[in-house]
Amino acid sequence: MKRWRRRRQIDGAHAVPLTPAQVQVLRAHQDAAGLRVVYLFLLVSFVGALSHLAMILSVAPNEYPILVIAGIFDVGVFVVAFFLVRDGNELRGTVLALVVSSVHMLGMYIYFSSAVGLELVLFPVALAPFLMIRRESPVLRNSLSFFATAIYLVCTLAIPEGASTTQVPVDIADAFSTGNHLIVAISLPAMMAILQKNMSATRHILEGAARYGELRATTDELTGVYNRRPVVAQLSEWAARDRGNYAIALIDLDHFKTINDEFGHDCGDKILQAVASTLRSHFRDSDMVSRWGGDEFLVLIPGVRHADLVPILERLRRSINLIEKECNDHAHSVSVSIGAAMGAIGQTPDECIAAADHALYRAKEEGRNKVVAVGVGVPTHALGRPQADGIERRSAPPQSTK
């Protein structure tokens, strides 16, 4: 039981449960953020191409007509890519921008060789597909990244240094080289930070969805307490280890069907929630409070002595008697019948629960709103309800307490 509780506490500390609707909202926010990254890449690429073009035009446009034409072409391509993305053709616009950027670097390197450090810009271009290709297409991402990497290898290995077709003045080469180094120094950490944030957001969504699934599998949706599954699992584990020294209490609301029939299920649900809240506040963190079905709750109490069991359950019964819920202008008080049994070594989960159920039946027979507890030293192997002389019981004191 402690292991089950520990796992819930650890998971809960790191993952907030996310409903399907919440997951959808977070995914929409993540998609919007991804689209902003695409626009940002296109904007930076456009500004970079425009600044290169402006630098060439301001220095010596007549001496480098090929650079002027290439600059105009690049600016036009990024504008076209922007409008493609805006009109819903995000994949086409992104692929166009990445391919043109890679090819542009190859052409410029052939033109300038290593004088201006253009090959360094291929590093962020190779990383960009993992940010910009938002559709689940690993082959396309890897292909574009490999394409940019291959161009970098061609530039550095296949084209000898100083083999450029054009020699540019030192001041222009230095200006281009400084700008390219700054672009790489800024863009790489920024892209890694965006990737990290995106991975963290995805992990948060996946863990939240998994946590929600776990809670749906182990928690009663109406009351927020456990359902049957974790209790049965815990009892099976204890039975496999031959562990005793625990108790099971079955709590059944008295005349609950009458409340549902006369005042509706909404009223009954409010009362069930109030009883579950009282149960959670009454028992320890190590105890397992579960909704066993309908108007019946089961509490698994480890490490409790037989002599302490009835006083604990009596305090619970009196606390529940203080509940008052207003439904349809009518105040409803609540009473419960409680049957409890001490667990014993060698018992199966069914036998242990059956013993508590026998005690609950006795509490109902004796007038309801009371506690009956039985101590079981050996497995009962009993089926059905017990006979009057087949159970050891401790009845509750009268309802009026000091």
The per-residue b/e assignment along 253-286, b for 16 or more CB within 10 angstroms, e otherwise, is bbebeebbeebeeebbebbbebbbebbeebbeee
Return the percentage of the chain with pLDDT > 90, whole number: 23
CA–CA gap between residue 164 and residue 145 (Å, rounded): 25
User: Does the structure show a pLDDT above 70 at 161?
Assistant: no
Does one domain contain both 176 and 311? no
Does one domain contain both 111 and 56? yes
Residue 61 gets which letter from DSSP? T
114 pLDDT band (50/70/90 cuts)? low
Does one domain contain both 311 and 208? no
Work out whether the CA dihedral 135, 141, 144, 145 comes out positive or negative. positive
Q: What is the CATH number for 307?
A: 3.30.70.270
Domain count, the chain: 2
Does one domain contain both 244 and 179? no
| Mean residue pLDDT across the chain | 80
Does one domain contain both 172 and 301? no
CA atoms within 13 Å, Cβ hemisphere of 367? 6
Does one domain contain both 242 and 157? no
Residue at 112 is within a domain: yes
Comparing 244 with 113, the larger pLDDT belongs to 244
Does one domain contain both 233 and 177? no
Tokens 């009371």 belong to which residue?
370
- The least confident of 12-16, 104-108, 211-215, 272-276 is 12-16
340 pLDDT band (50/70/90 cuts)? very high
The structure tokens listed for 255 are 């005349």
Does one domain contain both 234 and 211? no
Beta carbons of 218 and 284 less than 8 angstroms apart: no
The structure tokens listed for 49 are 């191409």
| pTM, to two decimals | 0.61
Residue at 402 is within a domain: no
Closest C-alpha among 100, 102, 99, 81 to residue 38: 81
The structure tokens listed for 318 are 């009196």
Does one domain contain both 157 and 240? no
User: Domain range for residue 232?
Assistant: 228-375
Does one domain contain both 59 and 202? yes
